[in-house]
Structure 1
Amino acid sequence: MALRREPTARQMRLATELRRLREAAGLTARQAAALLGVSPAQITHIESGLSGVSEKRLRRLASHYACTDEKFVDALVAMATDRTRGWWEEYRGLLPTSFLDLAELDHHALFRHEVAILFVPGLLQTEEYARAVFSSRVPELTSEELELRIRHRVARRVIIEGPSPIPYTAVIHEAALRIRVSDRTASKAQLARLLELSEADHITLRVIPFDLDGFARASSTMTYVGGPLPKLDTVVRDAPHGSVFIDSEAQLSAYRARFRKVEAVSLEPGQSRDFIHDLAKEL
């Protein structure tokens, strides 16, 4: 079987989890290969995401690694046997792979939590707002690159506006609501969009006003995406070179606690809608 040239983030996550299981069992890649009856190179390829693994081999590995968490093993099997080719594949070769990885992560998410400090979260942006954000990129995008990014961002809305939306919570700082990425008209349209979305049963919007106490220790942008089990959740952080996926159990636990802190000091959903409505009237 030919090796993958560029594993997706989801394929890499499976590879990472299998390596973690092996290391927790105290086995080397060579020892794991001997137990499975394959070459050490095959274990290396599986654990680097360059090669897939069948359900039979994955369950054998889990058994050799003394993993007794059946739900976790079942979740890994689902990842290993998934053959989904989603809408994002049409952008392969046209957009950086981090865009595709993010859309794939969205597709498999059970819920999504966001904290936004300076910009409205991407899934909630109007097209004009998104255009202004992408237009400010350095180096400047070509018109074709700009349109591709906007189309991709709009398509990602399917997880909160499609036929099977997931629970979505966004905590947005007042700064993000007030900063005009474009002009007054665009800002007003963006606030109207937030108010419209906040009426959906599966969407919760909360605001952190400038004058709210207790925010200093929890003030960082983050996206927390729920997996089939807490240990398969993912945190996404933006970086200059693209999105960074964080998945260690210690970090996931820290980010869960951080989100709870931010949520605790934010306004209730009803108060948040009133706040956004009042802000819109100021424009």
Structure 2
Amino acid sequence: MLRNFGASPPLVSFPHLREPWTGGETVYVCGRLGQLNGTGLEGAQAKARKLLYLKAKTAADYDAADRIVEDMLSDRVLDRLVDDVSPYIVKGVPLVCVVPHPPFDDIHADGADLIRRGVKNVLPFQYMARLSVLLDAEMDAQIVQKSRVGRTKLKDFPRFLCQPCFDGAVRQNAAYILVDDVVTTGGTLAALRSHIIRGGGSVVAVTTLAHGSGQWRDLALSDGTWNELQQAFGSGLDDFWRKEIGHDAKRLTDAEGSILLRWHSKSVAGNGRAPLQCLRDRLAEAAAKGE
């Protein structure tokens, strides 16, 4: 028998709010993750890239990061970014690049020293710095990630429960470009986008250095994925996700929706139990284990 979810407290301590998708949320990806970290290269090239990546990712080495960014930056991505921001430039709207990052001990307006001792991965900052020059954009030093910094090692279901939250002033007259080193499920970028939109800003482009496949990704949940989710979990999925996580299921990223579909196919289909009950049990298990 299906449990009355409304009678139990939600699984998250505070709601993970997200704004609706409006279209144009493509993540422009420069290349494959194996190209970024060297695992997809061979011989001396692989060895050199792995060393640079280690320095840029864990030792705050800006020179190493810049060499990687210079190699990774795709003309195709840059051309698309230029196309997206050109209408705003013509209108005189300021362009602002922003990366998801924690608060810093000493923030400088020019962004040259946007780093503190506890932050070691400077790849996003160097990518942002290079784009700011190429696109004649400012670098944001106000918006910060105040919770759940660094989700890379989290598995799929804990990512639903432990989502980032952002703080900081949003410029209502600015057009924002979201920048990061790697996109996985897109949850962090979705949260950053939502913070900017709630603050009255506009998000005009999203780009990362890498994704596992190297292909451009759509943040927004596709109609096809949404239809499959409804078939798998029923029409109550939207209300369920809003109650347990804090936002409508339609505001999942497409990668997040695909995660739920794969799990349903592997663990739920044909077991005779109510899919939403299985889903809540799996989320509760993740919360209890702190996976």
TM-score (norm 1): 0.25
Using CA pairs below 8 Å that are at least 6 residues apart, which structure has the higher relative contact order?
2
More helix by share: 1
TM-score (norm 2): 0.24
